[in-house]
Amino acid sequence: MDRLMGKRAVITGAASGLGRSLATTLAGEGWRIGIVDINDAGARETLEMVERAGGTGEIYHTDVASPEAVKAMADHFFDSWGGVDLLVNNAGVAVAGFVGDIPLEDWKWIHDINFWGMVYGCHEFIPRMQVQGGGHIVNVASSAGLLSPAEMAPYNTTKAAVISLSETLRAEVSPYNIGITVACPMFFNTNLLECARYTDDWEKEWCESTFRYARMTSEEVANRIITAVKKDKLYAVPQLSGKFFWLNKRMMPGTFHGLFRFLNRHGLERPLFKVLARLGLLQ
Ligand SMILES: NC(=O)c1ccc[n+]([C@@H]2O[C@H](COP(=O)([O-])OP(=O)(O)OC[C@H]3O[C@@H](n4cnc5c(N)ncnc54)[C@H](O)[C@@H]3O)[C@@H](O)[C@H]2O)c1
């Protein structure tokens, strides 16, 4: 059975950014989209865009940090649609700062959404996909989870955990005709920074400049992820910069992290990152 044949996708965080771009791109190919988010106004806009693109859709208000809400959402789509072929665990938030300065409540906030939200999604959808005979799950992580840059520990740790979860699942669910893709983009421009939390103004300004000078749009990132899903690839690393840094990290992990340690010790990391962001080399 073709695991994507039914063209029914549920996308969390679909009211904005990457989730919306994934929704409209799939809608252009005739998919039915479950638009899952806490932002109802944004979800309504996405629904209009999905319909204009030629698809159909339905909004389901869900806070992915609530296991009960994610279970009710999964029950809803499997009962009323008769199945779901693709789940995209995409909803996410960002926190930047130094360990020790970042309030523990911000650690908890981001882990509840970026990590636990994706665990709840996998927990509820995998058994249902097994029963229906297959499907595909995309977990949206980040290159941050592969590279562990400084001043982003809460974000890095959620994304690294999601990468590990996805790598684990890749083998675990393969007997059930379920594919797994983990998306690891570098920076691209979305509304992610609107509710991001920082410990100082430099981080805010720097994050904003990575978005301002981004080379790839969310539509292009979405297209690359969808291509990876169709090819049943485990990793989707859309930008060339992400592929380059990841290759270096895998080839020489000690040297890679040693370089950033040297830069940080000598106060060079912030100026260098600022230049790289302005040149679009982190995006
Ligand atoms: N933009 C980037 O540079 C970038 C890079 C790498 C990875 N990512 C990841 O891409 C994913 C999408 O982010 P984006 O950049 O499109 O940001 P975005 O803010 O534009 O979209 C995120 C969506 O998630 C929703 N959301 C947040 N908390 C939620 C919750 N508790 N329950 C349900 N929905 C919730 C928001 O309402 C929003 O609609 C995230 O997982 C993010 O970490 C983004």
What pLDDT score does 181 carry? 98
Nearest CA to ligand 1 atom 40: 92
- Going from the Cα of 15 to the center of ligand 1, the distance in angstroms, rounded, reads 9
Nearest atom, ligand 1, residue 112 CA: 31
What pLDDT score does 281 carry? 87
What pLDDT score does 3 carry? 87
- Going from the Cα of 195 to the center of ligand 1, the distance in angstroms, rounded, reads 10
∠217-257-166 over CA atoms, to 5°? 55
Percentage of residues in the chain having pLDDT higher than 70: 100
**The model's pTM:** 0.97
Ligand 1 test: best mutation among 10, 11, 18, 47, most atoms within 8 Å of CB? 18
94 and 69 Cβ atoms separated by less than 8 Å? no
What pLDDT score does 28 carry? 97
pLDDT tens-digit profile of 57-105?
A: 999 999 999 999 999 999 999 999 999 999 999 999 999 999 999 999 9
Nearest atom, ligand 1, residue 94 CA: 43
Q: What number is the average pLDDT over the span 260-268?
A: 94
89 and 137 Cβ atoms separated by less than 8 Å? yes
Active site residue ranges = 155
Nearest atom, ligand 1, residue 211 CA: 3
pLDDT tens-digit profile of 225-242?
A: 999 999 999 999 999 999
Q: What is the DSSP letter of 67?
A: H
62 and 34 Cβ atoms separated by less than 8 Å? no
* Rounded distance between C-alpha atoms, residue 219 and residue 203, angstroms: 26
Split at pLDDT 50, 70, 90, the class of 283 is: confident
270 and 96 Cβ atoms separated by less than 8 Å? no
Q: Which amino acid is at 111?
A: H
Nearest atom, ligand 1, residue 193 CA: 19
pLDDT tens-digit profile of 108-125?
A: 999 999 999 999 999 999
For tokens 């509820």, the residue is: 124
- Going from the Cα of 87 to the center of ligand 1, the distance in angstroms, rounded, reads 15
Q: What number is the average pLDDT over the span 189-215?
A: 94
H or E element at residue 123: helix 117-132
Q: 233: burial class by Cβ within 10 Å (0-12, 13-18, 19+)?
A: middle
> Which residues form ligand 1's pocket by a CB distance below 6 Å?
12-13, 15-19, 37-39, 42, 62-65, 90-93, 113, 140, 142, 185, 187-188, 190-192
Split at pLDDT 50, 70, 90, the class of 53 is: very high
Average pLDDT, the chain: 96
What pLDDT score does 280 carry? 87
pLDDT tens-digit profile of 163-192?
A: 999 999 999 999 999 999 999 999 999 999
- Going from the Cα of 13 to the center of ligand 1, the distance in angstroms, rounded, reads 6
- Going from the Cα of 93 to the center of ligand 1, the distance in angstroms, rounded, reads 5
What pLDDT score does 49 carry? 98
Q: What number is the average pLDDT over the span 199-209?
A: 93
What pLDDT score does 194 carry? 94
